[in-house]
Chain A
Amino acid sequence: MTTMSVTATRNRARAKSGVPFGRLLIPFAGAALVIALWELTVRVFAVPIYLVPAPSDVWTALVENRQILIDNLWPTATEAFLGFLLGNGVAILLAVCFVYSDLVYRAFYPVSVALRTIPIIAVAPVFVIMFGNGISSKVLIAALICFFPTLVNMVVGLKSVDPQTIELMKVLSARPWEIFFKARWYAALPFLFSSLEIAATSCVLGAIVAEWIGSEKGLGNLIIQATYDFRTPFLYAAMAVSSALAVAGVLLIALLKRLVVRWK
């Protein structure tokens, strides 16, 4: 019992204080240093602004164009979010089919893995041709890019349940759906969240790549426009907003994981 309370107290202490405050500052200090060096290099060597803008130039572009950036952030965010839901949702359902039917698994799992090797950039034009220039082709491309990691992780996760847990449930006369929702599903959750973390960034990537290929709006469209017009500070600003979108997604998933997967 003593061991128990000691471990529990230690875990609680770690959970409460987390990382010491000073250590939280280190990554920010590192980023500030990189930005400062960048600013310094650009100024000292008088690099032309259309080649590499200084961070201060990017900041100016960001502030001046904030309305345009925000207007174009929403379409991309919507596509990425819907793609995230669709890709992960279908992957989860398919993984359930794979785990419950050996026939389906053997028939379609190899195909799924083979399809995965096709680079997304090569598939994107095909989708634009099939589904047009609207939101649906972007959502589908974002979905596709989320799909495979989640499918693979979910299959592994659903199968990771301890065989003794299944036997225990059967001794307790648990019905099949109880075995699924009370055992397999929970066993799969840590695996699911690892792939959702990947998907949170890749869905933004998918949406932006899809916008490059054909669209009138979105951050991807801004990036292409800025490149053609040599508006380099604006290009950097669009990049910064895209990466902020992805970071927001990752943080959201990380928060959700902390709330859901409490037992690790």
Chain B
Amino acid sequence: MTAAPALAGSAVRLADISVEFVRDGKPFTALRGVDLDVADGEFVALLGPSGCGKSTLLRVVSDLLAPATGTAEVLGGPPRQARVARDVGFVFQDSALLPWKKVIDNVRLPATVGPRRSRQMTGLTPEEALALVGLTDAAGAYPSQLSGGMRQRASIARALVTDPRLLLMDEPFGALDEITRDRLNVELLDIWQRSRATVLFVTHSIPEAVFLAQRIVVMAANPGRVHEIVDVPMPYPRDVGLRETPEFNRIVSHLRRALDSQR
């Protein structure tokens, strides 16, 4: 950690990050002293009760929020640089599709906003991105005509057109039914394996975190901080059968105890 030899090794480096808000006139510490290192190409899940600062942490990484203390390094530079270069993709819980644009135009959005130099699309074409998430037939539909799962697929396609090296996902499947969620988890792993992007995935579902991630960052609230980091030493490609294995269940119960001990 100390020598910091190869810059290429880390996609995200957070050191002593604190974030303060003013809430009801009083200062409120949303994050305190967060250290986190995410390797290039790694899939890391952030797991914790609601209010522990998971979204806040993603906002720091995506340059939506400046930390009060500490340093954040994203893809070898300040978060701002990574954002302007469109190296960071963001997938929100409620898909954040623009209701007035057809699905295909939503996926094209990154090419139509921002400074010109940011608009150069290096990734998939919007059509390819839609095909990748299985939404080719829905290209001409409005978001209100899609199911929740299809909306999340569309929002993943929108994130993919910028060919992000870092994909931030804030409870992207949190509002979906379990069957859809399981299916999208498998699809997401497939996309991740092909793109080799780094993924930071926020969830408050323990099985989802274990199924997806190589490492799980367990967070605690009041103030938001890193409680424990758990490795998930199971090989990819993973499939739904993984959930039945003793190893999977061992990690799940370990995480459950870690989260319970916080109260």
Binding site for B on A (CB under 8 A): 1, 3-5, 7-8, 11, 162, 164-165, 167-175, 178, 182-183, 186, 189, 261-264
Contacts and interface: CB of A to CB of B under 8 A. Distances in A.
A165 B84 CA distance: 18
A178 B116 CA distance: 13
Contact of A178 (B88, B90, B96, B113): B113
12 contacts: A3-B150, A4-B145, A11-B145, A162-B94, A167-B90, A167-B96, A172-B118, A173-B118, A174-B114, A175-B113, A178-B114, A264-B144
B144 A173 contact: no
Interface in B95-117: 96, 98-101, 109-110, 112-115
A8 B98 contact: no
B100 A263 contact: yes
B113 A263 contact: no
B252 to A, nearest CB: 30
Contacts of B14: none
A199 to B, nearest CB: 22
A183 B98 contact: yes
B64 A173 contact: no
A257 to B, nearest CB: 13
B62 interface: yes
Given A4-B147, A8-B141, A167-B96, 8 more contacts: A1-B138, A8-B138, A165-B96, A171-B63, A182-B112, A186-B100, A263-B100, A264-B99
B64 A165 contact: no
Interface in B113-155: 113-115, 118, 134, 137-138, 141-147, 150
A171 B63 CA distance: 7
Contacts of B141: 4, 7-8
Contacts of B138: 1, 4, 8
Interface of B: 59, 62-64, 83-84, 86, 88-90, 92-94, 96, 98-101, 109-110, 112-115, 118, 134, 137-138, 141-147, 150
A67 to B, nearest CB: 46
Contacts of A3: 147, 150
Given A173-B83, A263-B100, A1 B134 contact: yes
Contacts of A165: 96, 98
Given A8-B141, A167-B64, A186-B100, A172 B110 contact: yes
Contacts of A173: 83-84, 86, 113-115, 118
A194 B85 CA distance: 40
Contact of B83 (A7, A8, A171): A171
A183 to B, nearest CB: 7
Given A7-B145, A164-B92, A175 B114 contact: yes
Nearest to A261: B100
Contacts of A264: 99, 144
Given A8-B141, A168-B90, A263-B142, A162 B96 contact: yes
Contacts of B99: 263-264
Contacts of A189: 100
B62 A172 contact: no
A165 B89 CA distance: 14
Contacts of B150: 3-4
A132 B65 CA distance: 56
Contacts of B101: 263
Nearest to B84: A173
A145 B96 CA distance: 36
A186 B98 contact: yes
